[in-house]
Amino acid sequence: MRRWFMVMLGLGVALSAATAEVWRFDDTKPGTLPAGWHAAATNAKNPSVWKVVEAATAPSRPNALKMAAPPAGAKGLWGYGSVFNLCYLDAVRFENGELSVAFKALKGREDQGGGIAWRIQSPDTYQVVRFNPLEDNLRLYYVKKGRRVMVQNADVRLAPGWHTMRVKVDGESIEVWLDGRRYIDAEDDHIEGPGGVGLWTKADAVTLFDDFAVEPR
């Protein structure tokens, strides 16, 4: 679902400007994806499984978007390795501006949590920030031709449940907040130009997302 309106996101975090394009997923039939969204995976032949589900605890009920399963056939002898689950929009072109999302980590043996991807050139090239409750850290990466490189790390411990992530991008400058507190202030020029936007998890990290807001500038 896409709406333009004055936006104040849940958990006390707001985008700084007055308007944003927001997907709350409440008008999408459970078991499907909203119009224009694509399920994909980095470093895998098959896409991961994403779908809208009913979520009684979601910040905006009744629905949320769920990364439900990693790509079929992607698991190797040592697990999923560098398989990244991506659900994205390429009709929205984003280079600079702000993005935010509410997320809730559900489970995962290899990995948990997730985050936001932007300047998506393809399922193998983009920038991404993610929180991992198994490692208690927030990390900014760029992914180029399937190779992920860390730009900055912040040690963060969050209680289980819903949290809000916000990203501000201005050229090479990238700032990231969790629940209203800034943890990352970095520069990265490896992915340039406008691209798509989306949501991301690694390996078998099953995660709920809601209230995805995008404000390109």
> pLDDT digits over 96-129, tens only?
999 999 999 999 999 999 999 999 999 999 999 9
- Amino acid occupying residue 89: L
In the chain, pLDDT over 90 holds for what percent of residues? Answer: 91
**pLDDT surpassing 80 at residue 160:** yes
Residue 132, token pair as written in the block:
């991992």
Match domain 3-216 to its CATH number in 1.20.1300.10, 3.30.70.930, 2.60.120.10, 2.60.120.560.
2.60.120.560
112/137 Cα distance (integer angstroms): 11
Query: Does 9 score more than 90 pLDDT?
Result: no
Say what the alpha-carbon torsion angle 64, 54, 79, 155 is, to the nearest 10 degrees. 40
Q: Could you tell me the CA-to-CA distances from 189 to 83, 95, 139, 143, 203 in Å, in that order?
A: 23, 12, 16, 12, 26
The CA–CA distances, whole Å, from 167 to 70, 112, 197, 201 equal: 25, 20, 12, 16
- Domain extents for the chain? 3-216
The pTM of this model reads 0.91
pLDDT in tens, 46-70: 999 999 999 999 999 999 999 999 9
CB neighbourhood size of 189 (10 A): 9
Angle CA(162)–CA(138)–CA(84) in degrees, nearest 5?
85
The pLDDT value given to residue 20: 84
Tracing tokens 């980590």 back to the chain, one arrives at 105
